[in-house]
Amino acid sequence: GQQVMQIPQYQHVQEGEDFTTYCNSSTTLSNIQWYKQRPGGHPVFLIQLVKSGEVKKQKRLTFQFGEAKKNSSLHITATQTTDVGTYFCAGRRSGAGNNRKLIWGLGTSLAVNP
Amino acid sequence: DAGITQSPRHKVTETGTPVTLRCHQTENHRYMYWYRQDPGHGLRLIHYSYGVKDTDKGEVSDGYSVSRSKTEDFLLTLESATSSQTSVYFCAVGRGEETQYFGPGTRLLVL
């Protein structure tokens, strides 16, 4: 069953407001990836986090990987209408033999009101 | 986008008919994956391949089979399509634990 929980499921914000989505795993992850899917499109890779406590930034997007490597977050500062879409986290389990498949969160759909 | 194409892009078929979806890549990625995406279920892995003729099941493999006779092609077959297989199907490729690159998707409607 689903072992990566992602919250919230939906989020509506006014343009200019901040947005955060959280990803929580029941097991330790070797890495976590974030993807964005625009409406009608396909998932597109954003970033991968590997190290415990890692923080990476891409312009207005900040990604964090928890110290225990079981949770992660994506924060968008001052949202724009171009940020609309669904954001997915996907993690790989730690340990041998399980690393080919990603465990996907169900995604957070972001709507931005101009 | 790693040179990934999917065909057909749209298909309407009838219950009970076999359907084959094709994924083609041009950048020699070792790993190839088939996912289905449905509202409320996110992306669910159907089957994946880790080399030519090397495949394994994902979490929703019942009713689906795959074949990979060449590095560049990964075929997904619905043996006898059912309405529950109406979905958007995505192919993805990757080199290992790195990122997965997704194709544009195939919208399948089973009547």
What is residue B1's predicted lDDT score, i.e. its pLDDT? 57
pLDDT(A106) > 60: yes
SS3 content of chain B, % helix, strand, coil (to 5): 5, 60, 40
CB B42, CB B96: distance < 8 Å: no
Q: Can you list the domains of chain B with their CATH numbers?
A: 4-110 (2.60.40.10)
Residue B65 in contact with partner chain A when CB distance is under 8 A: no
The DSSP secondary-structure symbol of A84 reads: -
**CA–CA separation, A48 and B97 (whole Å):** 10
Region A95-105: mean pLDDT is 72
Nearest to A107 by CA among A8, A17, A14: A8
Residue A75 has a pLDDT of: 98
B43 and A88 in contact by Cβ < 8 A? yes
Q: Do B100 and A105 lie within an 8 Å CB cutoff?
A: no
In this predicted structure, the answer to whether residue A2 has a pLDDT above a threshold of 60 is: no
Q: Does A88 touch chain B (CB under 8 A)?
A: yes
Determine the pLDDT at residue A1: 52
| Coil, strand or helix at A83 | helix
Residues shown for chain B: 111
- Is A102 in contact with B105 (Cβ distance < 8 A)? no
Report d(CA B96, CA B110) in Å as an integer: 33
B39 interfacial to chain A (CB closer than 8 Å): no
- What is the band of A102 on the pLDDT scale with cuts at 50, 70, 90? confident
Query: What pLDDT was estimated at residue A15?
Result: 97
The pLDDT score that the predictor gives to residue A93 is 81
pLDDT value at residue A68: 95
A-chain CB neighbours of B34 within 8 Å are none
* pLDDT over 80 (residue A100): no
* Rounded Cα gap, residues B23 and B8, in angstroms: 9
Does residue A66 have a pLDDT over 70? yes
| pLDDT of the residue at B40 | 84
Reply yes or no on whether the pLDDT at A112 is more than 70. Answer: yes
Each residue's pLDDT tens digit, B44-100: 999 999 999 999 999 999 999 999 999 999 999 999 999 999 999 999 999 876 789
In this structure, the number of other CB atoms found within 10 A of the CB of residue A14 comes to 9
Q: What is the pLDDT of residue A99?
A: 55
The CATH number assigned to the domain with range A4-113 reads 2.60.40.10
Report how many Cβ contacts below 8 Å link chain A to chain B.
46
Radius of gyration from C-alpha coordinates of chain A: 14
Mean pLDDT of A23-29: 92
